[in-house]
Copies of this chain bind each other. A is one copy, B any other.
Amino acid sequence: MNNTSTLRDYITEEAKNVEAALQEALPGEWQVPAQLRESMQYSLMAGGKRLRPILVLAAAEALGGPREAALPVACAIEMIHTYSLIHDDLPAMDNDDYRRGKLTNHKVFGEAMAILAGDALLTHAFYSIAQARKVYGIAADRVLAITEELSEYAGARGMVGGQAADMLGEQGITKLEELEYIHTHKTSDLIIFSLRAGGHIAGASEEQMNALSQFGLCIGLAFQIQDDILDLVGDEAKLGKPVKSDEKQQKVTYPFFIGIEASEKKVKQLTDEGKQALLAAKLPNPDRLLQLADYLMQRDH
């Protein structure tokens, strides 16, 4: 069996499932100003790897849990990821005109609407999570734990904290630990959340949850270092953005501190460490998660 091509099919299939669910995520009968709805959907449906929602589904599957019931949470994490990109692209933040080859939200809908669309997507993520209880009957305490963890991993000491540190540190990062703080919170936190959320849906034990967290921490950091590497040496056509853009913006990256070769080694080492942590917990069906870890390490965009 060709594991890689099977994994590609799996990713394509699950990304489609997630996109179908995202299409339905903002109820059509809700009275929402048309431009706000369009602005939210423009960015939500703008493609992307759908990595975080797929991790939610794969984690639920790894524990033999109900995959279907994980879909609302999968949608929620994509809403959070999307809102963070919309706000990140704003003139006051990174001031980007394009993302994935498409105009950024504020270039199409204006800054005010982009701010509001981001706010609305962030808020709507919590609505989506609540549907895991309402539609699929997942235990209320588990669903509540997911909302609480989302507010932690995506909030001031999670993703937003990482963004703030990134912004504040743009000129003056001098230590690798500072960069790791930013990478951990900007990137790993949502990945850890995604895995744990899938675990909650499937009723994971505390030991299993810890393994999912450790796995997420490792592959999240590996993912971000790989991003830094691709930004220096990747293929512009595949990436959909100019390479060396970080370098031009004088953004401090992982290779800046330890070089490209050592960074590549670090990606491999973190991936292995994450996989070991997962294997040690002896989940019923860990294969997809293990394959995803390898896929992230080997990706070229």
Contacts and interface: CB of A to CB of B under 8 A. Distances in A.
A36 B160 contact: yes
A280 interface: no
Interface in A129-144: 129-130, 133-134, 139-141, 143-144
B156 A32 contact: yes
**Secondary structure class of chain A's binding surface, majority of residues:** helix
A47 to B, nearest CB: 22
B92 A155 contact: no
A152 B27 CA distance: 11
A96 interface: no
Interface string A140-157: 110110011011101111
A30 B150 contact: no
A115 B144 contact: no
A184 to B, nearest CB: 10
Interface in A86-144: 87, 90, 92-93, 110-113, 115-116, 118-120, 122-127, 129-130, 133-134, 139-141, 143-144
A51 to B, nearest CB: 21
A160 B87 contact: no
B36 A164 contact: yes
A237 interface: no
Contact of A31 (B110, B113, B126, B161): B161
B112 A167 contact: yes
Given A31-B161, A113-B167, A157-B30, A147 B119 contact: no
Interface residues of A, number: 55
A168 to B, nearest CB: 6
A301 interface: no
B126 A147 contact: yes
20 contacts: A31-B161, A33-B165, A35-B164, A36-B164, A40-B156, A92-B110, A93-B115, A113-B164, A118-B119, A120-B156, A120-B160, A122-B123, A123-B160, A127-B152, A127-B155, A129-B147, A130-B147, A133-B141, A133-B144, A140-B141
Interface of A: 26, 30-33, 35-37, 40, 83-84, 87, 90, 92-93, 110-113, 115-116, 118-120, 122-127, 129-130, 133-134, 139-141, 143-144, 147-148, 150-152, 154-157, 160-161, 163-165, 167-168
Given A33-B161, A116-B164, A122-B123, 15 more contacts: A32-B161, A35-B168, A36-B160, A36-B161, A87-B115, A92-B110, A93-B112, A116-B167, A118-B119, A120-B161, A122-B122, A124-B155, A126-B126, A140-B140, A143-B144
Q: What 5 pairs across the A-B complex have the smallest Cβ distances?
A: A92-B111, A140-B140, A127-B151, A130-B148, A123-B155
